């Protein structure tokens, strides 16, 4: 096969740089091809509909590719369409780039193969394997040595220091050996010995064998030979430096004139032996990290927690060094294996920002938000905050709009953060407008899960930020005219009332609480017994502070009737079950129970019997659930040497806000909403069943018992 060899070696699409940059189907959109109208089989149409409905359904994509290759083996248009669409969603799958290139080589031209490989190395620039496939193709296609060498050098510039790059170096070595280019071969060994890559010992011994089997004049590069000749002519001290292919000399070393050839060879080897020793010394520092990397390639299946932690620790170690190039390359390697984890993209962006490399930071953020974790709300929340701090307010607003419209409609945190941003920008009216639009949208739904929390946050903003207690009350009280009372709303309205000056709306609150806690079989959305008991307990403590004796008595009687008596019945049933398992003699003994305390007689100490909701502290911001089908390691905390990244350090976790328990003063406002799980970016695939413990997102550990309002004094 013959083609444009020069085009292959220097191919560079307009406006694109090699760094995994966004282009050519890497930006989340399919490359525009002049696809003709094609006719699909019923099975093809079914599979296309599946991937259109869920673009992240990896199994359906691979089934579609297999089906297309089976029924349209020689139809390059169909093949291009399916590969372009698949690789737009999963650009790191280097094996599919290779298959795509093979199809082009079989059905079209060399130029088309080159085009596919060039798109591939733009999409997954730091993959040793894709460069190996590209170079192997070039060797089998072109005859020009310089063309092949330029391609090897392009790839090695990116992956030549990768611990697993030996497979590409080996191919380069075989190529130079086949052409008996001994000086090129010696230079390759010299470059390898500078870096702690896998099988470094083998390369060192191969180099020594080469030096022992070939004359020194054969293994010196022309630059080294010219320097040696100049040294001989001067008859004095000269400098022998290691000249790299780009003409840049390394640290020079003095060489005396008049050395014998054996002495020159010994010095030539000694210089490289010193490189080898330094590389081996560094290898001892990273070998533990490298051997712990079990899956260096991309796959949609989640990585194990130890491997994720290993990447974080490895990045910590490299960041503590002073080689920025090493840092960038390790991050790029990491983001092949960990491409589905927002925490690593966020960490990369922050690291580049801290290093002053905003171009790399913005490039990484664009790849994360547009391709790799584009369905994850936390990356867009991070992007909005990052853009705000960078002065790109319109970009931040765009991220919030994307969250509302596509990524996670109804995500409470997006509404709250957007409103808070507008408030920081000095536009309180815009902040209120955001809440009002979100509330209006939720009210149109038949049953909104977040409307109570949204109203509570709206009220919270009005009171704490604007200082308008009347508006805060109106938001809550007005909403209860249109929706059923809920635990979050009642918690907030009771708390708001407790911190307002007298007179208190005791009767109004009592009617709301009674409506919420009284059983109503006709209400399909009736709260759980636990929630109803907690609200009753909270209201009892409110009355103990602000109510009169009659209102307290009425509420206590109601609480006892609904909850304490029910507990007594449950206890009795439990005892009956225990009785059934005891001996006849024990049963007879238990026939006459001891006289118990009356219900009202228990009230002097009843507070300690009430449920945790009454004794809880003011609710804190909820902690993030870890029930994601696709594990993103949300528990990652800033590592040593990483915490200095400033205000973004907490973005290592999925973006559920956290705060300390609000117990400082009356100004503390309880957070009114429970965990709202993100709709996670998941991949449909055959995988082992998840642990049962990960099946439920919502249950949270109960806080230790303490007075609900006691901390306000």
pLDDT in tens, 342-397: 999 999 999 999 999 999 999 999 999 999 999 999 999 999 999 999 999 999 99
Token code pair at residue 102: 């093979």
* C-alpha pair distances (Å), 131 with each of 151, 197, 252, 678: 9, 17, 33, 37
- What is the four-CA torsion angle of 10, 12, 14, 17, rounded to 10 degrees? -130
> Span 638-665, mean pLDDT?
35
Exposed, middle or buried by CB within 10 Å (0-12, 13-18, 19+), for 62?
middle
Q: What pLDDT was estimated at residue 20? A: 56
Confidence of residue 1 (pLDDT cuts 50, 70, 90): very low
Q: What pLDDT was estimated at residue 707? A: 34
Decide if pLDDT at 709 tops 50.
Answer: no
Q: Are 523 and 507 in contact (CB under 8 A)?
A: no
Per-residue pLDDT tens digits for 554-578: 999 999 998 886 665 555 555 554 5
Return the SS3 of 255.
Answer: strand
- C-beta neighbour count of 608 within 10 angstroms: 8
Considering the entire predicted model, what is its pTM?
Answer: 0.74
Return the SS3 of 549.
Answer: helix
- What is the four-CA torsion angle of 589, 595, 599, 603, rounded to 10 degrees? -110
C-alpha to C-alpha distance for 174 and 309, rounded to whole angstroms: 37
Q: Are 544 and 552 in contact (CB under 8 A)?
A: yes
How large is the greatest C-alpha to C-alpha distance in the chain, in angstroms? 119
Q: What is the mean pLDDT of the chain?
A: 78
* C-alpha pair distances (Å), 358 with each of 126, 162, 355: 20, 24, 8
C-alpha to C-alpha distance for 219 and 199, rounded to whole angstroms: 22
Q: Are 255 and 267 in contact (CB under 8 A)?
A: yes
Q: Are 668 and 661 in contact (CB under 8 A)?
A: no
C-alpha to C-alpha distance for 693 and 294, rounded to whole angstroms: 25
Decide if pLDDT at 603 tops 80.
Answer: no
Q: What pLDDT was estimated at residue 176? A: 97
Q: Of all helices (H) and strands (E), which one includes residue 575?
A: helix 565-581
Residue 327: alpha-carbon gap to chain centroid? 19
Q: Are 644 and 712 in contact (CB under 8 A)?
A: no
Q: 26-40, 150-164, 192-206: lowest mean pLDDT where?
A: 26-40
DSSP code at position 444: T
Q: Are 223 and 243 in contact (CB under 8 A)?
A: yes
Q: Domains of the chain, with CATH numbers?
A: 1-142 (1.25.40), 296-409 (1.25.40)
Token code pair at residue 617: 């502290």
With vertex at residue 293, the alpha carbon angle to CA 134 and CA 376, rounded to the nearest 5 degrees, is: 85
Q: What pLDDT was estimated at residue 683? A: 58
Confidence of residue 34 (pLDDT cuts 50, 70, 90): low
Decide if pLDDT at 649 tops 50.
Answer: no
DSSP code at position 620: P
Q: 150-154, 363-367, 666-670: lowest mean pLDDT where?
A: 666-670
Token code pair at residue 225: 């030979």
Share of the chain above pLDDT 70, in %: 70
The residue that leads in pLDDT, 630 or 193, is 193
Q: Of all helices (H) and strands (E), which one includes residue 382?
A: helix 377-389
C-alpha to C-alpha distance for 606 and 615, rounded to whole angstroms: 12
């Amino acid at each position: 096969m013959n083609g444009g060899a020069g085009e292959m070696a220097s191919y560079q699409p307009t406006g694109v740089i090699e760094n995994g940059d966004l282009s050519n189907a890497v930006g989340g959109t399919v490359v525009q091809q002049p696809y003709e109208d094609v006719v699909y089989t019923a099975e093809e149409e079914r599979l296309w509909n599946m991937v259109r409905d869920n673009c992240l359904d990896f199994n359906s994509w691979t089934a579609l590719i297999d089906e297309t290759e089976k029924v349209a083996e020689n139809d390059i248009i169909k093949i291009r369409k399916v590969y372009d669409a698949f690789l737009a969603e999963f650009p790191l799958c280097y094996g599919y780039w290779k298959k795509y290139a093979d199809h082009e080589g079989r059905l079209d031209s060399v130029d088309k193969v080159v085009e596919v490989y060039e798109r591939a190395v733009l999409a997954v620039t730091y993959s040793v394997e894709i460069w190996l496939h590209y170079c192997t193709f070039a060797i089998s296609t072109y005859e020009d040595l310089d063309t092949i060498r330029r391609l090897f050098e392009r790839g090695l510039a990116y992956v030549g220091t990768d611990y697993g790059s030996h497979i590409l170096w080996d191919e380069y070595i075989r190529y130079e050996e086949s052409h008996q280019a001994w000086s090129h071969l010696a230079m390759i060994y010299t470059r390898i010995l500078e870096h702690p890559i896998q099988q470094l010992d083998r390369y060192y011994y191969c180099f020594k064998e080469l030096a022992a089997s070939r004359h020194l004049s054969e293994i010196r590069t022309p630059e080294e030979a010219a320097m040696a000749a100049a040294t001989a002519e001067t008859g004095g001290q000269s400098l022998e430096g290691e000249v790299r292919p780009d003409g840049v000399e390394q640290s020079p070393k003095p060489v005396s004139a008049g050395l014998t050839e054996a002495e020159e060879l010994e010095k030539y080897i000694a210089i490289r032996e010193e490189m080898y020793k330094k590389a081996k010394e560094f290898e001892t520092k990273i070998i533990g990290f490298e051997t712990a990397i079990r899956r260096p390639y991309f796959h949609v299946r989640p990585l194990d927690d130890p491997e994720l932690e290993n990447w974080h620790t490895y990045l910590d170690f490299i960041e503590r060094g002073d080689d920025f190039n090493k840092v960038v390359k390790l991050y790029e390697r990491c983001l092949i294996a960990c491409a589905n984890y927002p925490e690593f993209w966020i960490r990369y962006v922050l690291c580049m920002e801290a290093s002053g490399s905003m171009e790399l930071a913005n490039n990484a953020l664009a790849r994360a938000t547009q391709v790799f974790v584009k369905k994850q709300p936390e990356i867009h929340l991070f992007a909005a905050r990052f853009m705000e701090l960078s002065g790109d307010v319109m970009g931040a607003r765009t991220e919030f709009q994307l969250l509302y419209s596509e990524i996670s409609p109804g995500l409470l945190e997006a509404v709250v953060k957007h409103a808070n941003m507008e408030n920081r920008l000095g536009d309180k009216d815009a902040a209120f407008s955001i809440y009002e639009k979100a509330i209006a949208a939720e009210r149109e739904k038949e049953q909104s899960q977040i409307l109570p929390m949204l109203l509570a946050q709206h009220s919270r903003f009005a009171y704490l930020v604007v200082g308008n207690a009347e508006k805060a009350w109106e938001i809550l009280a007005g909403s209860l005219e249109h929706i059923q009372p809920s635990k979050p709303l009642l918690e907030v309205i009771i708390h708001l009332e407790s911190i307002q000056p007298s007179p208190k709306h005791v009767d109004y609150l009592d009617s709301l609480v009674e409506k919420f806690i009284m059983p109503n079989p006709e209400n399909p959305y009736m709260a759980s017994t636990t929630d109803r008991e907690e609200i009753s307990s909270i209201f009892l403590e409110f009355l103990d502070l602000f109510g009169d004796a009659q209102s307290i008595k009425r509420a206590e009687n109601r609480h006892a009737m609904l909850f304490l008596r029910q507990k007594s019945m449950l206890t009795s049933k439990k005892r009956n079950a225990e009785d059934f398992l005891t001996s006849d003699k024990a049963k007879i003994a238990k026939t006459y129970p001891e006289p118990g305390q009356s219900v009202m007689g228990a009230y002097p100490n009843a507070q300690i019997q009430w449920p945790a909701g009454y004794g809880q502290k003011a609710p804190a911001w909820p902690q993030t659930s870890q029930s994601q089908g696709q594990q993103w390691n949300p528990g990652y905390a800033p590592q040593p040497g990483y915490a200095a990244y400033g205000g973004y350090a907490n973005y290592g976790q999925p973006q559920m806000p956290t705060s300390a328990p609000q117990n400082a003063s009356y100004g503390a406002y309880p957070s009114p909403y429970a965990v709202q799980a993100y709709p996670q970016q998941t991949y449909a695939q055959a995988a082992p069943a998840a642990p049962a413990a990960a099946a439920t997102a919502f249950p949270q550990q109960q806080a230790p018992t303490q007075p609900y309002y006691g901390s306000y004094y």
